[in-house]
Chains A and B, each alone.
Chain A
Amino acid sequence: MPRWGMVIDLLKCIGCYGCQTSCKAENATPPGVTLARVEVSEVGSYPNVSRVNLPLLCMQCNSPPCQSVCPTEATQKRPDGIVFVDAEKCIGCKYCMIACPYGARYFVEDVRGYFGNQGLTPYEADGYPGHRTGTVLKCDYCRHRIDAGMAKGLKPGVDREATPACVINCMAKARTFGDLDDPNSEVAQLVARAQAFQLNPEFGTDPNTRYLPAGRSVAPMETPGARPAKE
Chain B
Amino acid sequence: MEAIPQSVWRWKIAAYLFLAGTGAGALIVGILGDFTGYVVSAKISVALGVPLVALSTWFLILDLGHPEKFFTAVLHPSTSWISRGFLIVSALLISGGVLTILWIWPCGRILDGNQGLRMAVEIIVLGLAVATCVYTGILIGIVVSRPFWNNPLLPVLFLISAVSTGIGGLFFITPIVRATLGVSSSETARFLIHLEWADMILLLSEGITIYLYLTVVYSRAPEAAGLLLRGKLSGMFWGGFLGAGLFIPALIELFDWADQKTPPLLALLITGTLLLAGGFLMRLLILAAGIRSPLIVRARFRVRPGF
Contact = CB atoms under 8 A, between A and B. Distances in A.
B145 A203 contact: yes
Contacts of B300: 43, 213, 215, 218, 220-222
Interface stretch (A122-130, A142-150, A166-174, A223-231): A223-231
A52 B297 contact: yes
Contacts of B75: 71-73
Contacts of A73: 75-76
Interface stretch (B48-56, B81-89, B234-242, B262-270): B81-89
Contact of A99 (B74, B145, B305): B145
A69 B73 CA distance: 11
A135 interface: yes
A92 B60 CA distance: 11
B304 A225 contact: yes
A70 B80 contact: yes
B305 A56 contact: yes
B211 interface: no
Nearest to A10: B297
Contacts of A103: 292, 305-307
Name the 9 nearest CB pairs between A and B, nearest first.
Answer: A92-B65, A134-B65, A103-B305, A101-B145, A228-B306, A71-B82, A43-B301, A68-B79, A231-B4
B134 to A, nearest CB: 18
Nearest to B5: A231
A228 B5 CA distance: 11
A89 B306 contact: no
A90 interface: yes
B124 interface: no
A50 B290 CA distance: 29
Contacts of A54: 295, 297, 303
Interface string B274-307: 0000000000000000111111111111111111
Contact of A231 (B69, B72, B306): B306
Contact of A91 (B65, B146, B297, B305): B65
B65 A231 contact: no
Contacts of B9: 94, 98
Interface of B: 1, 3-9, 63-67, 69-70, 72-76, 79-83, 86, 140, 142-146, 223, 290-307
B90 to A, nearest CB: 13
Main secondary structure of the interface of A (DSSP, over half): loop
Contacts of A99: 143, 145
A114 interface: no
A161 B97 CA distance: 59
B144 A69 contact: no
Given A71-B82, A91-B73, A231 B6 contact: yes
A218 B301 contact: yes
A72 B86 CA distance: 12
Nearest to A109: B65
A39 B86 CA distance: 37
B53 to A, nearest CB: 18
Given A102-B305, A195-B298, 13 more contacts: A52-B303, A56-B305, A65-B143, A72-B76, A91-B72, A95-B80, A98-B290, A101-B292, A103-B305, A200-B293, A226-B303, A227-B3, A228-B306
A133 interface: yes
Interface in A92-129: 92-95, 97-108
B301 A228 contact: no
> Which of A10, A95, A221 has the most chain B CB atoms inside 10 A of its CB?
A95
A98 B295 contact: no
Given A71-B83, A230-B4, A135 B66 contact: yes
Given A71-B83, A225-B303, A98 B297 contact: no
A93 B82 contact: yes
A95 B82 contact: yes
A62 interface: no
Given A101-B293, A231-B291, A93 B145 contact: no
A37 B37 CA distance: 62
